[in-house]
Chains A and B, each alone.
Chain A
Amino acid sequence: MKHEPYRSWLLQEEPLAAEQRSALKTHLERCEPCRQFRVAWDQVHARLTEAPEIGAPQGFSARFVARLRSARRGRSQRQVWAIFLLTLLGSLGAVALLTAALLNNMGSGFAGLLKQLLVVQSQVSVLGEFLLRALEIAPYPARDLLGVSLLVAATGAAVALYASLGALWAAAVFQFANPRLRYGGSR
């Protein structure tokens, strides 16, 4: 026995037309499964309409406020790191490009600076040799050792200065990126 459209009629919310009601009544008198279906739907419908709205548990709003604060803190920290890393990478990229440009240009820039340092080193060596010969107190190899030492010291000082300036700049960027450090206290 076909159960449609009778089961659909049982489920629909809109009122049935007179002919549909009559056809349904006739079908239900003859069809036990559809009678059971109707009883089942009536029971389900009663449960759905009787069940109340479940209220939120006590303290829900207070817990939401705590969650909101925690979410804000996490977001703020991520933003600080994002700004810091982007600025750092961008700046390092700019420095790398500048260095590459200087190295490519042999007439000036870093290569020129290196040449200047070598000139200074040889001049210091000559001066040192003059002094040592004048004083007649040091053997021949000492004048080379003095020149090399001066070059190493100058290079080391330059690297240390560059690294210190870089660290100082990174700290400044971090402080700028972090509103808490910028303004002090919590926001």
Chain B
Amino acid sequence: MSASAKNPEEAVWLRQAAAGDDEAFGRIVEAFESPVYNLCYRMLGSPEEAEDAAQETFLKAYRNLHRYDPNRKFINWILAIASNHCVDRLRKRRLTLISLEDLKPWNTPASTVELPESRLTKVELEEDIGDLLEELGGKDRASVVLRYWYDMSYAEIAEVLSLTESAVKSRLHRARSQLAERYMARTAQPAVLEGRRDEARTLS
């Protein structure tokens, strides 16, 4: 998976949007809504929360467009806003009481790209990933999402998350280890896992 390729019209839209052209900003929203939404969904696990977070991301970008440095990739800048916003939400989420309905926030969104043929169904794959990512803290989760969904280098991830490169490497290493440990713990309970897979097949 790669980040959105740089569109030559993007620079024109950004200049126009910075000058106050709302239609130009609308075109930017259309061009980047999917990468931003995907990051928010992977971070927060709920389609409703992901949309709200993505909308807030674009609002913040709109208000701070005068601070955007054209020498920087716009996708990195806007994903930085999205990541920080989602990390803040996760932090607040940990401080609020949750109801029983919220214990399993990972809901498969309605619009997903068709998967290539795989051992797992679409629902199973999304549930699996959601369950695995839930293990990780905010910035660790963001590091994994930026690495695996946006093919960002350590340097780019460091720039997006305001970390050093060595901190990014350390976080990714720790996150991978936690994900593998979590997978091992899950597969150590085969009866429970099989029950969840059957439920997923019934729902899909």
Contacts and interface: CB of A to CB of B under 8 A. Distances in A.
Interface of A: 7-8, 11-12, 36-37, 40-41, 43-44, 47-58, 60-61, 63-65, 67-68, 71
Given A54-B37, A57-B47, 17 more contacts: A11-B180, A40-B180, A40-B184, A41-B176, A41-B179, A43-B183, A47-B125, A49-B148, A50-B118, A51-B126, A53-B34, A56-B51, A57-B109, A58-B111, A63-B51, A64-B33, A64-B59
Given A44-B132, A52-B113, A68-B62, A61 B33 contact: yes
Given A36-B184, A61-B29, A68-B59, A53 B148 contact: no
A50 B128 CA distance: 12
B115 to A, nearest CB: 6
Question: Which of B1, B41, B109, B180 has the largest number of chain A CB atoms within 10 A?
Answer: B180
B-side interface mostly: helix
Interface string B153-185: 000000000000000000001001101110110
Contacts, number: 109
A57 B132 contact: no
Contacts of A12: 173
B129 A60 contact: no
B interface residue count range (under 10 / 10 to 19 / 20 to 34 / 35 or more): 35 or more
A11 B36 CA distance: 28
Given A54-B38, A55-B111, A61-B30, A8 B125 contact: no
Contacts of B37: 54-57, 60
B1 A54 contact: no
Contacts of A56: 33-34, 36-37, 51, 54, 111
A40 B41 CA distance: 24
A37 B180 contact: yes
Contacts of A67: 55, 59
Contacts of B14: none
A53 B179 contact: no
